[in-house]
Amino acid sequence: MQKRVVVTGMGVISPIGNSVEEFKQSLKAGVSGVSRISAFDPQGFDVQIAAEVKNFNPADWMDKKDARKMCRFSQFAVAAAFQALEQAGLLAEADAGDGEGPGRKRIGCVPDRAGVVLGNGIGGFEVVTESFHKLFDFGPRRMLPLTVPMMIGNEAAGNISMIYGLKGPALTQVTACASGTDALGQALDLIRAGRCDAVISGGTEACILPFAVGGFQMLKALSSKWNQEPAKASRPFDADRDGFVLGEAAGILILEAEEHARSRGAAILAELAGYGGTADAYHITAPDPSGEGGSRAIKLALADAGLRPEEVQYYNAHGTSTELNDPAETRMIKQAFGDHAYRMKVSSTKSMTGHCIAGGGGIEAVACILAIQEGFFPPTINLDNPDPACDLDYVPHTAQYGAVHAALSASLGFGGHNGVAAFKAYDTPKHA
């Protein structure tokens, strides 16, 4: 029999809250995290808005000496991992540290049997930018000494491994916007294969910088007509959408083999029951308009989880608010769910958080688990004028309430990557 994999902890750093509780309350209230960019002066950019993380102080979650050696995306991941490990009851005693922020801690299980699998799409843009300026203005000797270890995408997984003493695999998944969800699928496989008892997994991203905003702007991917009304800019499935809003976030889950979690008396939040991954093999940025690739990913996730389509109550859509994604994803959902597509709830939490790239898969997995735990469907805000091509129940404007026994989270990335994770309410085995 296949191992069951359960969730015992969650952590969130996001534009709408820097804890799971804040994130949950913002989802229920339909709060927008989009505002004018404060990380740099966006004057002269067509796009002047983003969904930034606010009031983030890395010293709340980590030693200041460690934080100074990390880029922002890695700090987010370590902070969310701290929250998740704390909830899971897996933090051992702390070292003294430097007296400025929590000292280093150790994971409370066999280190060799615990791993990390994180999704990250872009890496440390801020140190790349700074070192390029120093290189071209002053020469290579003025570059930051830690340029390479700070900028590379595997830095977040490596730092979590070192800080918490995890000696199993420390892996990084890079599949653009699908990275966070694909990381969960890879972690699921590690535990099922018996290679790990526990895995810290999810996604992280922080790239609200001139280089990234300018690059996405040149792709015509970002919303540019709502600069004066930022909270209205991210509007998935709405006829007036004009692109996604760039966000930043980290969402982390503690995944454990069921028997491992039960043996230590852990509180089980949900089950990660299945995963499906496919490629469109169609276009470098655009989704296959037929939805075929994404539909197959949904079907694979359902089969892996042992779920029939009609057993799913909630689908957290990729829902980017772009011209091409939203109707293609609607077709994808219909192909996979048939008539049930019209009976279940579908929403895009990106309407509130913006598109957090790899971090999106992480925080959207948390949203699915919260929906199961709390019996609510997060809303799609700003859905004022539904696109006729998008005709499902997208939970417009305000949260709705009802029992959720199974929920899917979908992430679709540049390059045609499709990842879908299936979560279930946890039922204690009858023989337990």
Residues belonging to the active site: 177, 318, 355
Residue 117's DSSP bridge partners are: 171, 201
Distance CA 279, CA 6 (A): 27
Rounded-to-integer distance, Cα 43 and Cα 59, Å:
31
8 A C-beta contact, residue 365 and residue 180: yes
Strand, helix or coil for residue 329: helix
CA–CA distance, 408 with 361 (Å, rounded to integer)? 11
Rg, Å, the chain Cα set: 20
- Is the CB of residue 409 less than 8 Å from the CB of residue 421? yes
User: d(Cα 412, Cα 203) in Å, to the nearest integer?
Assistant: 14
Taking the C-alpha atoms of residue 155 and residue 171, their distance in angstroms, rounded to an integer, is 10
Answer for the pair 288, 411: CB distance below 8 angstroms, yes or no: no
Alpha-carbon distance 227 to 413, whole Å?
25
43: left (phi over 0), alpha (psi -120 to 50) or beta: beta
Q: How far is the C-alpha of 230 from the C-alpha of 146, rounded, in Å?
A: 36
